[in-house]
Amino acid sequence: MSRALAPATELLRLDGIAQHYGKGETAVTALAGIDLTVSRGELVAIMGASGSGKSTLLTIAGGLSKPTSGEVIIEGQWLSDLPPTRIAMLRRRTLGFVFQDFNLIPALTALENVTLPLELDGWKSRKARAAGLEALASVELDDHANRYPDDLSGGQQQRVAIARAVVGTRRLILADEPTGALDSTTGELVLRMLRSRVDAGAGGILVTHDPRHAAWADRVVFLRDGRIIDQSAPAGVDTLFADAQRA
Amino acid sequence: MSIRQSLLAILDQGPCYGYQLRGEFDRRTGSTWPLNVGQIYNTLDRLERDGLVAKADTDSEGHVYYAITDAGHDEVTRWLDSPVIRTQATRDELAIKLAIAVTLPGVNIAEVIQVQRAASLRTLQDLTRTKNATSEPESAEELAWMLVVDSMIFAAEAEVRWLDHSETRLARASARGFAEPLPLSTSSPKRGRPVKAEPAAQAAQAGQPAPAGPLTTDAVR
């Protein structure tokens, strides 16, 4: 593997990621050599049946677990070179997670939830507050800054989670079924927000089993048995409507 | 087809001439299924024959206006009040392709499914981009267009889900040894409707949409 300098637009690169559990005859292969890059302004959806390795891939991409082999490179930094404290710092500064169950802290307001990673990273509270409000404004919730999660709808909570994922210098969003707990129209609104954060310069991975949600991505990657079996990018709206009119 | 009823419903709002009807249909359906003027006049002729519309005034530019009759108005009400029944008459090209493919030797059906899934997902992505380019609808025309786009999105989604489901079903059938190709049958086909078609036909008579069964409809006639 060459360590050529990554293009400046590249946020994440996965290089030959494999993950095996157990040894010998009982060994299970969760991932079998995944290569994937995510650039700024790009949302990549990962689809596949349960057990295809989607969520494992996300936890490895986010530095939450170490792969059996292969490299995770975030903004040019090879995670295998970094001690755990530096990986934790990278997670605070660069990565944001969005989960199905929102994962907000009930005792903190929306704003405090968003600024928490900044505070942990030693930001002055006034600066953190300003960045937090900016992130909340980007998901159109700055007027709900002082509400507690219990006072927010599911869709609003998930938008707070997206704000937390992009606050300050964070720009790589890793989302695991982020609309799973939401109704159809609310889910769409959350994806619209996620999409707009990515269009504003973030990058993201969206793990989902729902084709309608995957369709918000620029690329859809299909996993089967721990391998990428196919990738699809949009064809172009003109072709599509030409087809619809011929039909 | 619903063009006849759609045009009638528009005429229920007031008399129109042919070209005008075309424009009205277009802006109320997001310009997704453009009609040609010939189709419009054919439909108007038939509606007139059936007593649902009647020729009205001609304006100074020679446009012939059509006006709805009482019977036409009743027909519009009936249309809006009743559900659309998708009958087995609409053959599903993809279901047929997959059903045939599964019986042929040497076909990698998993590959057929994946090629289709990637294509369907591309369609879904394109539709979603189209939708994302528009904010919440701010007029009835935009709303109508959005409904049409949503309907295409849900149809594409259903297709992808059905492909996922078929893939799983196929894997299970393979594991049990039931996914072997079918050789040509040596017995000659019996005349008449195959027995298996009956539940579908009964469901259709009861006003239920028939389950997709591409191999059981019109099989041997």
pLDDT one-digit tens code per residue, B109-165: 888 898 898 888 888 998 998 888 877 788 888 899 889 999 999 999 999 999 988
Q: In this complex, is the C-beta atom of B95 within 8 Å of any C-beta atom belonging to chain A?
A: no
Q: If pLDDT is split at 50, 70 and 90, which confidence band does B214 have?
A: very low
Length of chain B: 221
Q: If pLDDT is split at 50, 70 and 90, which confidence band does A181 have?
A: confident
- pLDDT tens for residues B18-73? 999 999 999 898 888 888 889 999 999 999 999 999 999 999 999 999 999 999 99
Whether the per-residue pLDDT at A112 is higher than 60: the answer is yes
Q: In this complex, is the C-beta atom of B147 within 8 Å of any C-beta atom belonging to chain A?
A: no
Which chain B residue lies closest to A195 (C-alpha atoms)? B132
What would the mean pLDDT of B90-95 be, rounded to a whole number?
Answer: 77
Task: Test B34 with A245 for CB contact under 8 angstroms.
Answer: yes
Task: Test A214 with B32 for CB contact under 8 angstroms.
Answer: no
Task: Test B121 with A212 for CB contact under 8 angstroms.
Answer: no
H-assigned helices in chain A:
54-61, 84-93, 110-120, 125-138, 154-166, 184-199, 211-214, 237-246
In this structure, of A70-79, A229-238, B43-52, the range with the lowest mean pLDDT score is A229-238
What is the C-alpha separation between B133 and B127, in angstroms, rounded? Answer: 10
Q: What is the pLDDT of residue B89?
A: 52
Whether the per-residue pLDDT at A247 is higher than 50: the answer is no
In this structure, of A94-98, A121-125, B165-169, B214-218, the range with the lowest mean pLDDT score is B214-218
First to last CA, chain B: 25
Whether the per-residue pLDDT at A5 is higher than 70: the answer is no
Which chain B residue lies closest to A237 (C-alpha atoms)? B126
Contacts of A199 (CB under 8 A, 6+ apart): A41
Q: What is the pLDDT of residue A3?
A: 66
Q: Which residues of B touch A245 (CB under 8 A)?
A: 32-34
Residue burial B6-42, b: 16+ Cβ < 10 Å; e: rest: bbbbbbbeebbbbeebbebbeebbbbeeebeeeebbe
Q: What is the pLDDT of residue B215?
A: 38
**DSSP summary character for residue A193:** H
> Does residue A190 contact residue A159 with C-beta atoms inside 8 Å?
yes
Write out residues 156-215 of B within 8 Å (CB-CB) of A: 156-157, 160-161, 164, 168
Q: Which fold has domain A40-68+86-246?
A: Rossmann fold (3.40.50)
Q: Which residues of A touch B114 (CB under 8 A)?
A: 222, 229-230
Among A211, A216, A237, the residue with its CB nearest the CB of B160 is: A211
More confident residue, A18 or B104: A18
What would the mean pLDDT of B91-106 be, rounded to a whole number?
Answer: 85
Pairing verdict, β A203-207 and B53-58: unpaired
Which chain B residue lies closest to A185 (C-alpha atoms)? B150
- What percentage of chain A has pLDDT greater than the value 70? 92
Say what the ipTM of the complex is.
0.72
In this structure, of A154-168, A197-211, B121-135, the range with the lowest mean pLDDT score is B121-135
Q: Say how many C-beta atoms besides its own lie within 10 A of residue A135's C-beta.
A: 26
Q: If pLDDT is split at 50, 70 and 90, which confidence band does B205 have?
A: very low
Q: In this complex, is the C-beta atom of B110 within 8 Å of any C-beta atom belonging to chain A?
A: no
What would the mean pLDDT of B201-216 be, rounded to a whole number?
Answer: 44
* DSSP characters over B110-139: HHHHHHHHHHHHHHHHHHHHHHHTS-S--S
Among A212, A232, A241, the residue with its CB nearest the CB of B118 is: A232
In this structure, of A45-59, A139-153, A160-174, B3-17, the range with the lowest mean pLDDT score is A45-59
- HSE-up (13 A, CA, CB side) for residue A214: 29
Gyration radius from chain B CA atoms: 23
Task: Test B125 with A230 for CB contact under 8 angstroms.
Answer: no
- HSE-up (13 A, CA, CB side) for residue A39: 7
Q: In this complex, is the C-beta atom of B124 within 8 Å of any C-beta atom belonging to chain A?
A: yes
Instruction: Look over chain A and give the mean of its residue pLDDT values, rounded to a whole number.
Output: 88
Going from the C-alpha of A55 to that of each of A10, A202, B9, B98, the distances in angstroms are 22, 20, 51, 30
In this structure, of A78-87, A157-166, B200-209, the range with the lowest mean pLDDT score is B200-209
More confident residue, A221 or B210: A221
Residue burial A202-241, b: 16+ Cβ < 10 Å; e: rest: bbbbbbbbbbbbbbbbbbbbbbbebebbbebebeeeeebb
Q: How far is A231 from chain B (nearest CA, A)?
A: 7
Q: What is the pLDDT of residue B219?
A: 38
Task: Test A212 with B154 for CB contact under 8 angstroms.
Answer: yes
Q: How far is B199 from chain A (nearest CA, A)?
A: 30
Q: In this complex, is the C-beta atom of B154 within 8 Å of any C-beta atom belonging to chain A?
A: yes
Which chain A residue lies closest to B124 (C-alpha atoms)? A215
In this structure, of B72-81, B98-107, B174-183, the range with the lowest mean pLDDT score is B174-183
Which chain B residue lies closest to A224 (C-alpha atoms)? B114
Task: Test A234 with B156 for CB contact under 8 angstroms.
Answer: no
Task: Test A217 with B117 for CB contact under 8 angstroms.
Answer: no
Whether the per-residue pLDDT at B196 is higher than 60: the answer is no
Q: Which residues of A touch B121 (CB under 8 A)?
A: 211, 214-215, 220, 232
More confident residue, A82 or B1: A82
Among A195, A212, A232, the residue with its CB nearest the CB of B122 is: A232
Q: If pLDDT is split at 50, 70 and 90, which confidence band does A28 have?
A: confident
Q: What is the pLDDT of residue A22?
A: 85
**DSSP summary character for residue B187:** S
Lookup: tokens for B43:
């439909």
Q: CA A152, A155, A157: angle at the middle one, nearest 5?
A: 50
What would the mean pLDDT of A236-243 be, rounded to a whole number?
Answer: 46
Gyration radius from chain A CA atoms: 19
> Does residue A97 contact residue A174 with C-beta atoms inside 8 Å?
yes
Sign for the CA dihedral angle at A123, A128, A130, A136 comes to: positive
**Residue position matching structure tokens 């005859």:** A25
Write out residues 52-91 of B within 8 Å (CB-CB) of A: none
What would the mean pLDDT of A137-166 be, rounded to a whole number?
Answer: 93
Q: What is the pLDDT of residue B18?
A: 92
Task: Test A234 with B122 for CB contact under 8 angstroms.
Answer: yes
Number of A/B CB contacts below 8 angstroms equals 70
Lookup: tokens for A207:
């793990």
Whether the per-residue pLDDT at A88 is higher than 50: the answer is yes
